[in-house]
Structure 1
Amino acid sequence: MICALGAAVCFGTASVLQAVAARAAARPESGAGVDPALLLRAVRQWRYVAGLALDGCGFVLQVVALRTLPIYAVGAALAASLAVTAVVASRLLAVRLSAAEWRAVAVVCAGLGMLALASGAEGHRPGPDALPWAMPAAALGVLLTGAAVGRLPPRPRALALGLGAGFGFGVVEVSVRLIDDVSPGALLRDPAAYGLLLGGGAAFLLLTSALQRGSVTTATAGMVLGETVGPALAGVVWLGDGTRPGLGWLAAGGFAVAVAGSLALARFGEAPEPEPGARDGQHAS
């Protein structure tokens, strides 16, 4: 659980650092369109590089957590990265959180505490023989679905793309659990390894499209649902994930509470703009 929470802290902080760097690298004359040179300017800033390093550390911690905890606990902890983003944005970007959003942060923490008390060890069932092959097929399905929903109106499109991104991240979570041998030769023969790569790539592609073309809140809410509910069910039904004896109700409640709190913070799926005049006021003082 410490690794899962560490991954959430890494991902949530990285989002804010990368947002600060991207905005500092943006040029007024670039307008609202895509600036091809933005990435090249951003990577010259230490905040952006630090954000990428935190993303890498977060992924390693996520893998460790998935190898030792039920998927439902790790998924809820990763969704809690939105709470981390909200708190860090309130400091670095001078974003004002409402009282309801501070309560949502507290709710997320309470849900994770419930999960920490109730979660058992990871399941040890191998799952159906076809499950590793289903991972790359599911990732391909995510890509095809994303291409199909790209023509929908903005609001349903953002939700559908966010859900698709969540399913892609879910493929990554399940694939990590299915990979037993990490030697190069075994990975080349393991379909779950290809599912991990395809699922992660598809998820990032769909999430980027959703954030560029629709509501950040809607897209992030869809992503949170997609990356938590489906993988959690797969872990319980096929991989043997369970809870401590007699605490199934606490785990289910903690999962629901943590996900609900994360949904309330969905606008922080992309770090918001700083409050108007907030920085000016700080400099003036």
Structure 2
Amino acid sequence: MSFGLLAALAAALLTGSATVLQAVGARRAAAGEPPGGAAALAGAFRQWPFLAGVGMDMLGFGAELLALGRLPLYEVEAVLASALAVTAVGAARVLHVRLRRSEWAGVAAVCVGLCVLAVSAGRDGPGRGGTALRLGVLLASVLLIGAGWAVVRYAGGRRAPLLGLVAGLQFGVVGIAVRVLPDARLPDLFAEPAAYAIALAGLGGFAALTWAMQNGSVTAATAAMVLGETLGPAVIGVLLLGDHTRHDATPLAVTGFAAAVLGALTLARFGDAEQPAPAGTAH
């Protein structure tokens, strides 16, 4: 197993576990606060589970950066989809809900899909994208912040999955921006659109996911996040950045990618079975 794949798996484990901890802290902070309010978001930072989750997320992002430098973008994003399996199992313990057979099938599909991807993946492409792509990721990060605000204000009971989708799209923008970021010295980065896209999309995705966890099913929100985070970067990586599979392994890679993503999305049904945790556990 390559170092890049190990780094991607570590990122998935860290971020999946972090989501559960952040959900505990975010829900405690949201008690008695209006949904999507700044007070609920700020209050999460006074909860130790949330802070522990943030720390794990930072470690996971570092591991993701290592993976992005060694693997095709589509493979890294598909491996990160396995974070949903980690979240589902962790949330089952925290929220005292049993995984059904369909959810275990989803976990198995994710694992099998990742194994197939590991066998079929080639090297990441040489493309870095032009100025238009770097400006595009910056524009996308700004538009998605506006989309998150609109969801909080108008989406009502559909906030959790929609905010999860917005968060995933933002995190996908981060992955693309990291990939296209040119090797530049610090002063030059202040004029680099991709650098601003990383900051804006990272913060916007973090806020959207936190609000999603305060407004509904943790796993349903994470499933929507996986969809947004995985598909966009994979398409950009293959079409614009030259990512490819091993020789004659494209059908195998497509099969593995589809199994990993569909298995992760199958776990979205797990969110329908979530029950409130006992008082003092996850409000």
Q: TM-score range by the shorter chain?
A: 0.7 to 0.9
Range with greater deviation from structure 2 (218-227 or 184-193): 218-227
Report the AA paired with residue 196 of structure 2. Answer: Y
CA distance in 2, matches of 1:147, 1:91: 32
Q: Which has the larger radius of gyration?
A: 1
Report the AA paired with residue 39 of structure 1. Answer: A
Tell me which residue corresponds to 1:11.
Answer: 15
Whether contact under 8 Å (1:68, 1:121) holds in the other structure is yes
CA distance in 2, matches of 1:250, 1:75: 17
Report the AA paired with residue 177 of structure 1. Answer: R
CA distance in 2, matches of 1:141, 1:222: 18
Whether contact under 8 Å (1:95, 1:273) holds in the other structure is yes
Distance 1:85 1:256, change over 3 A: same
CA distance in 2, matches of 1:90, 1:156: 22
Whether contact under 8 Å (2:78, 2:257) holds in the other structure is yes
Choose the corresponding residue for 2:123, options 101, 118, 121: 121
CA distance in 1, matches of 2:24, 2:92: 12
CA distance in 2, matches of 1:268, 1:52: 24
Whether contact under 8 Å (1:119, 1:242) holds in the other structure is yes
Structure 2 residue ranges without an equivalent (≥5)? none
Tell me which residue corresponds to 1:282.
Answer: none
1:260 deviates by 0.8
Report the AA paired with residue 19 of structure 2. Answer: S
Structure 1 residue ranges without an equivalent (≥5)? 280-285
Task: Give the TM-score taking structure 1 as reference length.
Answer: 0.82
Tell me which residue corresponds to 1:251.
Answer: 253
Per-residue Cα deviation, 1:164-195 (whole angstroms, up to 9, x for no partner): 22211111000010113253223222211111
Task: Give the TM-score taking structure 2 as reference length.
Answer: 0.82
Tell me which residue corresponds to 2:172.
Answer: 170
Tell me which residue corresponds to 1:283.
Answer: none
Cα RMSD between the aligned structures? 3.1
Range with greater deviation from structure 2 (54-63 or 32-41): 32-41
Tell me which residue corresponds to 2:6.
Answer: 2
Matched, 1:98 2:103: no
Report the AA paired with residue 17 of structure 2. Answer: T
Distance 1:14 1:182, change over 3 A: farther
Matched, 1:56 2:58: yes
- Write the mapping of 1:196-207 to structure 2, written as runs, cut at 5 A: 196-207=198-209
Equivalent position SS for 1:180: coil
CA distance in 1, matches of 2:150, 2:53: 32
1:86 deviates by 2.2
Report the AA paired with residue 118 of structure 2. Answer: A
Report the AA paired with residue 14 of structure 1. Answer: A
Choose the corresponding residue for 2:210, options 208, 211, 214: 208
- Write the mapping of 1:1-285 to structure 2, written as runs, cut at 5 A: 1-20=5-24, 31=32, 38-39=43-44, 41-43=46-48, 47-91=49-93, 94-154=96-156, 157-181=159-183, 183-213=185-215, 216=218, 218-266=220-268
